[in-house]
Structure formats: structure tokens, C-alpha cells
Amino acid sequence: MRDIATFPAATFAGGCFWCLEADFSKLPGVLSAVSGYTGGHEPNPDYELVCSGESGHYEAVQVRYDPDLVDYRALVDWFWRRIDPTNSGGQFCDHGPQYRTAIFVHDAEQERQARASLAGLKSSAQLNAPVATAILPAAPFYRAEAYHQDYHKTQPQRYQSYRVGCGRDATLARLWGPEVADVLFGYVPRLPRLVEPEVELLTRLPELTVQVARREGTEPPFDNALWDEHRQGLYVDAISGAPLFSSQDKFDSGTGWPSFTRPLMPGNIITRRDTRLLAPRTEVRSWHSESHLGHVFDDGPRDPATGAHGLRYCMNSAVLRFIPLHELVGARYGRYAGLFDPEPA
């Protein structure tokens, strides 16, 4: 993808950026979450300088999101429940100015919504101490070193050990209740699940779509609409319309089904263990429509640097709708046009 910067930004400091980035990346409507440093007085800081506490920077996460799928206010409301907003000296086991919490607002409207959310939090009487989280003007954001990005994926055991050992989830459960174990607790996207009654869906959808989406069926390989589609464009949920995959991440897997190396927005899909066959598989579903889409396997294209296989999201055409690049604006997906290479005149 080319220019994610065409989407609005939201910047939050919530203690260790590994954890906050991991949680943000699971939200429907969030396109990207990047760990970095902001709010300090030294240009181009590195991790060592920030950890010294002398640069004034916060560990922060900058999110790019689709405002048609989630409002900024919903991000702020959710953020409160991923931190301890009463802790003025850090977060969980981490202490120091770099671990303070803050909401960095990018414009007057974000500030209005952030302060309205803060007022709602204070009036809810859920907390037994004053809120210490600051609302500050957005400052230059410096992307953290590469090894910090997607740490929950690249170092899953170390990440989980740190998260448990630091007491993050235990503290959140004490503050907000056991429901906070669900990363979507307190999150209200604009496009909710099951956007129309099930009975109406079943009457208007083609039989093959119903068979795949609701009965976990599989369409024939090499005999489906999108396996050999090579144009630039978006692949969206055929039921809800939520964007799921991009042609930038599509590849010819030789299987006869449309295959992708990654989803466009990780939070727009969910995975679960599928044991219906002898060998367990990982099923992929659309978060918004709860439709079965296909499965994900670890036999995707090899990483040129490491030689390791990536992922292969093997999808069914019947539950996808393809929107070519030149039709994105007319189909009301024009905000995604900047993600693609310009088409030749």
C-alpha cells in the first residue's frame, strides 16, 4: 500500500507502546498502528534517549483509521479502558515520564471530542482517584526503531511474558471489570456487526454466498469470480461492505482461490480454530458481518530476507465484492484510492 497518511491520525500515549499498539491493531476500522515517540523537546529521539527520561518524550502509538468505520470519539472512549488514567507516574510496572498517559489531539474537533469523552469518564464514577491523563496538542511523532513495531507478532512469547509480568491486564480488570479481557470492550464502531436482520440477508443473497457465509461452504477452485482477478482495487465484505483486502497484497497461490498475504485492516477480520477436518485449520471471518470467508495458512510467499514463509489468506469469491480502482470514488470508497499506484492514462 502507498499512502496510509491520507487517513486521519489519532495519537495516544498509554505506557508501553508494544501493548497499546497490539490492542489498537485489533480494532475494526483501524488501518494501522505505529509505535513511536512524541511530546518531547529533542528531535529524532531514539529508544535509549527516551528511556533516560531526559528528552520529555512519551512512548506513544499513532493510529490511522477510517472515519466511515469508526469515530474518533469511539477511539478515545476505548482508550480509557486500556490504561490506568489515574496513574500520574507511569503505567503498571513501568515508571518514568516516558510512560505517562496522554491524548495528543490533531485539531480542534479532536480536542472537543476528547474533552467530551473525558467529561463522560469523570461523571461515570468508575474511578476512585483523579484522572491524570493529559490532553495535549499533537507534536512531531517519531517512528520507533523497527524492532519495536509489531512486537506482539515478531516476539510473541517475550511480549506475552512482559504483558503478564507487568500486570497490565490484571490492573485493567481491577479498574474496569473482567469484561476488559475482551480487547473490544468499550469499543463502538460506526458500522456495527450484523448490519441487517439475518432473515433479510438470507432472502436477498445468492445461494452460493449463503452456503459459504453461513454454512462454512467452499466454492470450487479455478471456478469462481475472483481467483484470477488482476486489476487494482479493493476486496470488500459482500454483506457489510467493510474493506477486507487490497489487490496490493493479492498473489497467485496456484490454488484456484483468491489469496492474500495480509488483510487490509487486521481488526476487520477475526480468526478461530477450525477442527471440522482431521487437521486443525484457522478459519477467517469478517468481523462486521460474521461471515465465513475462508482460512489462513502459513505457506504464503517467502520473505526474501529470511526465507521463511509468510501467510496465505485463502478466501472465497462468493463472500467478497471487488471494486476496481477506477470505481472506488463512485462506490464511495474514494478514501482508499491513495493506497494504490496511479493507473496509466
Grid cell listed for 296: 489462513
What b/e string do you get for 169-190 counting C-beta neighbours within 10 Å, with b at 16 or more? eebbeebbeeebeebbebbebe
Half-sphere exposure of residue 116, counting CA atoms within 13 Å on the CB side? 10
CB 75 within 8 A of CB 63: yes
Active site includes 314? yes
Q: Are 91 and 99 in contact (CB under 8 A)?
A: yes
Give the integer Cα–Cα distance in Å for 110 and 71. Answer: 10
- Rounded to the nearest 10°, the torsion over CA 321, 317, 310, 150 is 30
Check 16, 51, 93, 166 and give the catalytic one.
Answer: 16
Cell 478466501, located at residue: 315
DSSP states of 98-134 as a string?
A: GG-EEEEESSHHHHHHHHHHHHHHHHTT--SS----E
For the chain, the straight-line distance linking the first and the last C-alpha, in angstroms and rounded, comes to 20
Q: Is 19 tagged catalytic? A: no
3-state secondary structure 151-214: HHHHCHHHHHHHHHHCCHHHHHHHHHCHHHHCCCCCCCCCCCCCCCCHHHHHHHCCHHHHHHHH
Catalytic residue, candidates 19, 93, 166, 314: 314
Residue type (1 letter), 44: N
Nearest-angstrom CA–CA distance, 34 and 146: 10
Active-site positions read: 16, 314
